[in-house]
Chain A
Amino acid sequence: MKKGNWPKLIIEVLMWGLTLIIFLPLYFVFVNSLKSGMEVSAMSLSLPSVFHWENYKEVFQSGNIWMAFLNSLIFSFGSIIVCSVLSAMASYIIVRRKSRMNSVIFNLFLIGLIAPMNMVTTFQFMKALHFINTYHGLVLLYAAYFMPFTIFLYNGFIRNLPVDLDEAATIDGSGPLRRFFVVIFPLLKSVTVTALVINFVNCWNDFMFPLYFITQTDKWGVVLLLFQFTGTFYGQDQLLFASALVIMVPTLIVYLFGQKYIISGMTAGAVKG
């Protein structure tokens, strides 16, 4: 293979050089999270003269960071599980039971991929349902909000699932609900994992819903707490940076282990068009 006059190795080195654009800002945050208050104000990329790991200890002692972590976990896990189970059931029926109504329903779901949420009227509905400042309220709202994309993912997958499997499952005489959870749902494992990791990252990082619908500080997740820290730690950037990195850890872990799922899931629908 002749590749112009650009050997592969040079491109490879160039690309690794380009990753600096990604890493530098994060390195900057990390290095400065370990400095003393005096040193931080210089805003440099140099290593700290003394590594102040106790900045992290201070972050954990100040404020309700544990509470916020717990809240974020409740919101995230609650909504991704509700969303996946309901979306999988719905997709199964949309794909297998072709009818005019079901294709209308599917198209209504697809509208959600495009249409922005009207925050004011949504707030009014949340209020009328007594969902403001509740765990279940926000979990259900997230589940509804992630549904269009999740159903879209499941649809693409179930379409390629042989119908024989359904028929094999009917023979033992169990009801549809049981059949779905015992036979079908396990077959959707790979797409379920994809939906779970993508929605987890989106939910963990979301800022807009808690801003509108969670007004009690004891129900704040980590992202809202971090936003409040910009005021709390004003002039103490080392603590702000440390808390920002601590809050990033769960999504970073999920991304490290699930990046294949995330990238393939996000591009699957786009390429097939």
Chain B
Amino acid sequence: MNKLHNQKIIRKMYPQYLLIPAFVLYLALFLIPNLTSFFYAFTNWNAYSKTIKFIGLGNFQEIFSSSSGNTGVFINTVIFAVFTTVLKIVFGLILALLLNEGLRTKNVLRAIFYMPITLSTVLLGITFSEIYSPDGLLNKALSTFGLDFLTNSWLSNPHLAIWSISSVEVWRASGFAMAIFLAALQTIPKEIHEAAEMDGAGAYYKLFNIILPYLYQSIVINTILGMISGLKVFDLIYVISNGGPARKSEVLNVTVLNEFGKGNYGYSTALGLLLFVFVTAAYFLVNAIFKKFEVDVS
């Protein structure tokens, strides 16, 4: 078999045209629209004038100006992303480690804990708006246990709203993190556990010296996925609070929609581009940090 002949067979067997429909669709509705944002973000494109003018960094100056009141939006977006990512990993890890103790109903439990992420965010919005309401379930429960001093207006208190909504995301997606950890736990060879047993290793020693190093990769994955989805968040915030009270729980993607609704297309595109920059930066940053502390188990 000479190489040229092989090439010919491959070309015949796997024609490139099978790939084209998918790629063209993806190009037209995902890649190119997103690429043009690198141009429109620097223009005064809006609903009120026919002409589109290049205005350099004008939109970005306005976004970061103190009068725009956007500072809180960036802080909220970061709070949401970091807070949910950390807690999802903590709860997901605890659930996964407990489930991995050889329980009989492990698969049923795994399915139950995973389920919330398959629920519509609008349903969750309706549910948790009621639970968080001043005379809602949460305050009632706190009063029942004699913790009246802890009751609060969870969604109308400007300092609390973003944290309350972030907690819903933790409730929604901890099971997802758990599923990833569980899959990783199953890759730990049995012999290692047995060897540790033989040496009489304690539970703590096993956790920190055997299990966690094996879970390192899945912690990285969960951090990346959590940060990406956290920075992109839209539904939950929009449905529960629409960014209120007084923009105190607003996140980037909600601002994008609001500015789009006002007809400030260039400005809104610039906000979207910033989101792209943040997500990409978070991705590389998380990767770089974890690379530094890499644990090799192979």
Contacts and interface: CB of A to CB of B under 8 A. Distances in A.
A1 B197 contact: yes
A118 B25 contact: no
A263 B111 contact: yes
B260 A8 contact: no
* Chain B interface size range: 35 or more
Given A125-B29, A271-B184, A177 B18 contact: yes
A205 B121 contact: yes
A15 B99 contact: yes
A201 B28 contact: no
Interface residues of A, number: 98
Given A19-B112, A205-B121, A271-B187, A116 B25 contact: no
Contacts of B239: 207, 227
Interface string A97-120: 100001001001101101111111
Given A93-B18, A118-B276, A207 B228 contact: no
A123 B45 CA distance: 13
A263 B184 CA distance: 13
A180 B103 CA distance: 43
A208 B228 contact: no
A19 B34 CA distance: 41
Interface in A20-56: 21-23, 25-26, 28-29, 32, 43-45
Contacts of A255: 115, 118
B280 interface: yes
Interface stretch (A63-71, A140-148, A188-196): A140-148
B297 interface: no
A157 interface: no
Interface string B93-137: 001001101111100011111111011111101111011010111
Given A96-B14, A247-B123, A273-B217, A2 B260 contact: no
10 contacts: A15-B99, A23-B112, A25-B131, A28-B131, A116-B231, A166-B14, A227-B239, A241-B126, A267-B180, A270-B218
Interface of B: 10-16, 18-19, 21-23, 25-26, 28-34, 36-37, 40, 95, 98-99, 101-105, 109-116, 118-123, 125-128, 130-131, 133, 135-137, 140, 171, 175-176, 179-180, 182-184, 187, 197, 203, 217-218, 221, 225, 228, 231-232, 234-235, 238-239, 253, 256-257, 260, 265, 268-269, 272-273, 275-276, 279-280, 283
Given A97-B10, A102-B19, A141-B29, 11 more contacts: A3-B203, A43-B135, A93-B18, A111-B31, A124-B36, A125-B32, A140-B29, A147-B22, A147-B25, A263-B114, A271-B221
